[in-house]
Amino acid sequence: MPDVAVTIVGGGIVGCAVADAAARAGRSVVLLEQEQAVGRGTTSRNSEVAHGGMYYPTGSLKARFCVEGRHLLKAFSAEAGLGWRECGKLIVAVEADEIPALQQLHALGLANGVEDLQLLEPQEVSRLEPGVRAAAALISPRTAVCDAEGLARGLARRAAAHGAQVLCGARVTALARDGVAWRVTVAADSRREGWSHTSGAVVNAAGLYADQVAALAGIDVEARGWRQVLVRGSYFRIAPRHRGRVGRLVYPLPPTDGSTLGAHLCLDLGEGLRLGPDFAAPLPPGSDPALIAWAVDAARADAFHQDAVRFLPWLERDDLTPDMSGMRPKLAAHGFRDFVADRGEGELAGLVNLVGIDSPGLTASMALARHVVDELMAA
């Protein structure tokens, strides 16, 4: 008999959501997070946007889980008393020759079940957001901003209330078959000795480290195409004097190479404004995420201003100051790659790998967790 039914490796928003779903399904759960608190990694370094779901190929996991996940996050935010601001989003065609691409995005969003999407003429954009320049726009009223780190903590608390053990400062160093179960080995830290335990199922939700955790279990991540590409993105804060000047998120049309959604105007729960993220050159393969330098290069402000002033004509270069940076665990630097949500078979039975959980991972987290518990871990 295994010591525990389910072990989750990684305490970001996805790992906490899986722990919550599994514990509420009546399973004994251990969540292992190597940082000293949950939600400190990628979860704490992003735009905190609950996306609409119009960017992803119909039928993909990203499309399926984005709409469902947004509803689940909204309901949980209300239950837990966490910030949720349904400010809506404008995706703008700055020039007339961009309008056909905007129309295609509208059609894709409708096919994906995104609610209340509407194409707007320039005068309608000006009426809603006088500070935004656009030849046309797509409005997604249900897009929201949220408290991402608070959501991770709240899900971990609810998991614990249903019996889950949430252990921080717990770095997994080995995964190996032990009869019909998995033996999970955890390194010692300054507070406790190392240990190992057996687990009927293991869910790899390790974010930036997900490919490394999969490799611990003996998976050839190169052969499977699971080697993650770590792409850094920076943000710049817009001067506080502009607070409240724009009331919705504003995105340009995404680049045609599929690398990113484009550096956009972000809002926070307090109506502050910032731009980002940009798309830096991927880190060399095999880079250690623990050694990432998070400082923002102030010289990048010129490029941010040049991109954003196209649709924010009031923006001055001196309005921008470095804010923060984040890292996306992508499966390809360019082009679309879907989430990997893989249930192992044979010698890998009982192992679920969640790899390449980049955007919309935050939005999709609770729906992805439901999929893991209801389908991927089903006997």
Provide the pLDDT confidence category of residue 361 given band limits of 50, 70 and 90: very high
Domain for residue 56, yes or no? Answer: no
Note the pLDDT of residue 255. 75
Report residue 51's pLDDT band, with 50, 70 and 90 as the boundaries: very high
The arithmetic mean of pLDDT across residues 113-127, rounded, is 97
- Do 341 and 250 lie in one domain? The reply is no
Instruction: Report pLDDT for 261.
Output: 60
Contact 145, 112 (CB under 8 A): no
Length reported for the chain: 379
Q: Could you tell me what percent of the chain has a pLDDT over 90?
A: 89
Q: Would you say residue 114 lies in a domain? A: yes
Residues 362 and 305 in one domain: no
Does residue 54 lie in a domain region? no
- Looking at the fold, whether 293 and 364 belong to one and the same domain comes out as no
55 part of a folded domain = no
Top-confidence residue, 75 or 286: 75
What integer is the mean pLDDT of 290-315? 94
Domain extent at residue 16:
4-47+149-226+337-376
The answer to the question of residue 170 being in a domain is yes
Q: Is 90 exceeded by the pLDDT of residue 195?
A: yes
The pLDDT confidence band at residue 118, using thresholds 50, 70 and 90, is very high
Residues 127, 233: one domain?
A: yes
Same domain, 129 and 242: yes
Whether residue 236 is found in the same domain as residue 322 = yes
Whether the per-residue pLDDT at 286 is higher than 90: the answer is no
Residue 165's φ and ψ, nearest 5 degrees, are: -95, 120
- In this prediction, residue 260 carries a pLDDT of 62
- Out of 255-259, 306-310, 318-322, which region has the weakest mean confidence (pLDDT)? 255-259
Asked if residue 74 belongs to a domain, the reply is no
Report the distance separating Cα 81 and Cα 275, nearest Å: 27
For the stretch 317-328, what's the b/e string if a residue is b when 16 or more beta carbons lie within 10 angstroms of its beta carbon? eebbebbbbbbb
What does the pLDDT read at residue 225? 97
Q: Give the least confident one: 12-26, 39-53, 261-275, 323-337.
A: 261-275
Q: Is residue 306 domain-resident?
A: yes
Planar angle of CA 32, 361, 261, nearest 5 degrees: 145
pLDDT at residue 341 in the model? 98
Is residue 318 located within the same domain as residue 182? no
- pLDDT given for residue 270 in this prediction: 87
**Domain co-membership, 138 together with 240:** yes
In the prediction, which pLDDT does 258 show?
57
252-266 per-position pLDDT tens digit: 998 766 556 667 999
Tokens linked to 153: 């903590």
Residue with tokens 């680049």: 255
CATH number at residue 194: 3.50.50.60
pLDDT given for residue 254 in this prediction: 84
Give the tokens for residue 139: 């409005």
Put the strands of the sheet holding 264-267 in their side by side order: 118-120, 136-140, 89-93, 249-252, 264-267, 273-276, 229-238, 320-330
pLDDT at 379: 53
pLDDT at 114 over 60: yes
Low-confidence winner among 69-78, 93-102, 169-178, 260-269 (lowest mean pLDDT): 260-269
* pLDDT over threshold 80, residue 28: yes
Task: Assess whether 134 and 238 both reside in one domain.
Answer: yes
Report the pLDDT value the prediction gives residue 192, as an integer from 0 to 100: 86
Co-location of 115 and 234 in the same domain: yes
Where residue 377 falls among pLDDT bands split at 50, 70, 90? confident
Domain identity same for 233 and 325 = yes
Q: Assess contact for 213 and 278: CB atoms under 8 A.
A: no
Mean pLDDT, rounded, of the chain: 95
Residues 245 and 113 in one domain: yes
List the CATH number of the domain containing 240: 3.30.9.10
pLDDT, position 349: 96
Give the chain's domain count: 2
Give the mean model confidence (pLDDT) for residues 213-238. Answer: 97
Q: Return d(Cα 356, Cα 227) in angstroms, integer.
A: 9
pLDDT confidence of residue 16 = 98
Which of residues 350 and 287 earns the better pLDDT score? 350
Does residue 63 form part of some domain? no
